[in-house]
Amino acid sequence: MIPLLSTIPVFPVLVAALVDSVPGIFFGLPLVALASLVFAATHHEDPAEIRFATVHWAVWLGGILGLVLAAVLLLGWFA
Amino acid sequence: MGQGSDTRLALARDKQAPSPRVVAVSPDDGSAIDLKNPAIAAVLAWAVPGLGHLYQGRVFKGRLFMGAILGTFLAGMWLGGGKVVYASWKPGDTRWAFVCQAGAGLVALPAIVQSLQIRGVSKQPLFGSTFMAPPLTAGQYVSRGYADRLAASDPDIDAEDFFDRPPLKQFRGEQVSHWHRRLGRWFDIGTLYTMLAGMLNVLVIYDAWAGPLGTPTDADRKARTTPQPKT
């Protein structure tokens, strides 16, 4: 699997770009979690509903921001 | 019984009547949430994140917001080496990030005090402390005591960084450049943490003021009004 992927030129560049921005990604994850928690808690009152909505918001925020990050990395590579 | 005694009776009844409460409706189970005095709750929620909810008796959310918002703010301070929260309104060195950081409440207030102090007559922050003090800019005058303290405690500054202008001293560098050089990307990460904590606290303040933002969907309402079959 790894040798196959390493033959594609995009993959190593993407991995390198991702690793280069690891502190940003790593320290950005708690902020996504915090935003999800606050969004959920300001929309609900019941603790169980807050927990469920936190996961829901985290998936949405993480997904959207992940897509944006991937797009930026790809555009940066093609530029 | 005259008209005067009727009025007194009415006033007595008003005093005995419970004061009107502002309530919100929980989007989860439709129950009433006593917001008490929303204005007081909002001010408390700004001053200390979560305190407005504790005042309203919403203990779970109060603790949650207090831990999350204050924890993130303090984590940002730590990541940024304690330098990322300061207030500065000088042309060319306006710290717009502080507008967001101020949303976290009293925890950001020392920055305003320090900014006013260093611009004031004393030309030094409160107690000569560097805590939340704005960075010195080129040509800025400071007290001799503060200059000596910076030269002794700050690894990036020594006595040669100040011109001697009795009774003051004049800085001849850009302290914020030192911070950026020493902290690198941690300055930005710490700034981002503290800014986001302040901005998210605005939602918390609104929640204390007006109750939860969420509204029950039609499916929720139908599920709650439809009698459940007994098992």
Residue A50: both structure tokens together: 């807050």
Domain count, chain B: 2
Residue B160: both structure tokens together: 């040669």
Q: What percent of chain B has pLDDT over 70?
A: 84
Interatomic CA distance for residues B204 and B65, integer angstroms: 7
* CA proximity to B84, closest of B198, B203, B201: B198
Q: Which string of DSSP letters, residue by residue, matches B21-56?
A: --EEE-TTT--EEE--SHHHHHHHHHHSTTHHHHHT
When pLDDT is averaged across residues A51-69 and rounded to a whole number, the result is 93
The answer to the question of residue B140 being in a domain is: yes
Q: What percent of chain A has pLDDT over 90?
A: 46
Residue B162: both structure tokens together: 């100040």
Query: For residue B212, what are the domain limits?
Result: 23-78+196-217
The reply to whether residue A27 touches residue B79, judged by beta carbons under 8 angstroms, is yes
| Per-residue pLDDT at B222 exceeds 70 | no
What's the pLDDT at B216? 64
Count other Cβ atoms within 10 Å, centred on residue B104: 30
Q: What chain A residue is nearest to B49 in terms of C-alpha separation?
A: A38
What's the pLDDT at B3? 47
The answer to the question of residue B27 being in a domain is: yes
Express each pLDDT in B41-91 by its tens digit: 999 999 999 999 999 999 999 999 999 999 999 999 999 999 999 999 887
Express each pLDDT in B127-178 by its tens digit: 878 899 999 998 899 999 999 998 888 888 988 899 988 898 999 988 999 9
* Mean residue pLDDT across chain B: 86
C-alpha B175, offset from chain centre: 25
pTM: 0.81
* Disruptive mutation site among B203, B209, B224 for chain A (greatest number of A CBs within 10 Å): B203
Residues B31, B73: one domain? yes
Q: What chain B residue is nearest to A35 in terms of C-alpha separation?
A: B200
Query: What are B's interface residues with A at a Cβ cutoff of 8 A?
Result: 26-29, 31, 33, 58, 60-61, 64-65, 68-69, 72, 75, 79, 185, 189, 192-193, 196-197, 200, 203-204, 206-207, 212-214
Interatomic CA distance for residues B51 and B35, integer angstroms: 13
Residue B7: both structure tokens together: 């009025």
Confidence band for B217, pLDDT divided at 50, 70 and 90: low
CB pairs under 8 A between A and B: 65
Closest residue to B192, CB basis, from A31, A39, A42: A31
The reply to whether residue B213 touches residue A24, judged by beta carbons under 8 angstroms, is no
ipTM above 0.95, yes or no: no
The answer to the question of residue B151 being in a domain is: yes
The answer to the question of residue B117 being in a domain is: no
Express each pLDDT in A8-44 by its tens digit: 566 766 666 666 667 777 888 899 999 999 999 999 9
Chain B residues within an 8 Å CB radius of A30: 72, 75
Q: How far is A76 from chain B (nearest CA, A)?
A: 20
Chain A residues within an 8 Å CB radius of B220: none
What's the pLDDT at A3? 56
What's the pLDDT at A57? 95
